[in-house]
Amino acid sequence: MKTYSNKHQQHVLDSTGLLPQKNWKMALLHITLLVVVVFLTEISGAQADMVFDFQMKLAKKGNAEAQFKVGEMYESGRGVEKNINEAMKWINKAAAQGNTAAGYNLLYKDLKKNGVTKENKPELVKLQNAARAGDGYAEYYVGLMHSRGVGVKKSNKSALDWLGKASLVGITAAESEIARINDNGAANRSAQLRAQREAAAQQEAKRKEEERKKLEAQRKQQEAESTAKKKAEKDKKLVRQREAERKAAAEAAAEEEAKKLRMIAQKEAEAEKKRRAVLAQRKQKEAEKKTQFESDPCAGKSARFLSTCR
């Protein structure tokens, strides 16, 4: 496998998957490789078929590297219809012949399926050591493991670091994985922005709903206060009206009582007047009788009781 100098050990991409401002020579080289990869990935179906046919011919002749390439093409569906069974057949053939890239591929699948086990841990350590030594395919699979969280802790920063190194030595699959990470990052940022907007919209809707409820409560309170005020005024008016009616009734009763008293007093006065007239008349008659008696004692009815008139 190809190796590269210490300058290639520097980070090609930052944690966001973008090119840093420094190391512009490396950045230019990276961009050039990316353009080439994009161009190659845009080849027509006929050209891809030709590549597959060429690799298949070599694979059937026992070329381990071609066998791995055929397996990769079956696995990705590039240049041939996707077929996982065929992919595994050719990758296993390549690995059986000692193809390290095929071995890394099988180790990745084992780690993905079973996690780190007692059996595969030594192979994982070898893979990591090979990546540190500059093995391009090892760098790719270590980056892929960090990207997908297979066998190691998921870390886009570490993934982009290793994938960037692999892309510089011509591992085109590394560029595809870098693009996927960046796309996912953009999608995640878009989703975060969407979630933030939705949260803000929900917060605003909640605020408006609370404001509406507050205004509604104030309106109801004002209506209740207005109703209570009107009722209080009505009750006061009714109390005043009843008090006026009671007062008028009391005055009418008092007037009626006074009228009765006046009538009684008038009748008593008339009766007294009559009594006095009767008394005066009686006194007058008695005075007349007395006068008559004194003038002629024997003329009245009482004369028979007088001895002098016998």
User: Over the stretch 275-288, which tens digit does the pLDDT of each residue have?
Assistant: 888 888 888 888 88
Do 205 and 167 have their domain in common? no
Q: How high is the pLDDT of residue 301? A: 65
Residue that terminates a domain, selected from 188, 218, 233: 188
Do 209 and 282 have their domain in common? yes
Do 88 and 18 have their domain in common? yes
What backbone torsions phi and psi does residue 150 show, to the nearest 5 degrees?
A: -105, 115
How confident is the chain (310 residues) per 10-residue block, as mean pLDDT? 34 42 51 51 61 92 94 90 95 96 95 94 96 95 95 94 94 90 82 83 92 93 92 91 90 90 89 89 84 71 63
Range of the structural domain that residue 231 is part of: 189-310
Do 42 and 169 have their domain in common? yes
Do 233 and 274 have their domain in common? yes
Do 172 and 267 have their domain in common? no
Do 137 and 235 have their domain in common? no
Q: How high is the pLDDT of residue 289? A: 77
Whether 1 is covered by a domain: the verdict is no
Q: How high is the pLDDT of residue 156? A: 93
Do 181 and 203 have their domain in common? no
Q: How high is the pLDDT of residue 26? A: 52
Pair 192, 176: CB distance under 8 Å: no
Cα gap 276→215, rounded to integer Å: 89
Cα gap 60→52, rounded to integer Å: 12
Residue that terminates a domain, selected from 147, 165, 188: 188
Alpha-carbon torsion angle 92, 95, 100, 104, nearest 10: 40
Q: Kindly state the DSSP code that residue 19 receives in the 8-state scheme.
A: P
Q: How high is the pLDDT of residue 303? A: 62
Cα gap 77→84, rounded to integer Å: 9
Whether 196 is covered by a domain: the verdict is yes
Q: How high is the pLDDT of residue 292? A: 74
Do 26 and 47 have their domain in common? yes
Do 123 and 210 have their domain in common? no
Q: How many domains does the chain have?
A: 2
Q: How high is the pLDDT of residue 19? A: 43
**The two structure tokens encoding residue 165:** 């190194």
Do 133 and 182 have their domain in common? yes
Do 170 and 22 have their domain in common? yes
Residue that terminates a domain, selected from 167, 188, 209: 188
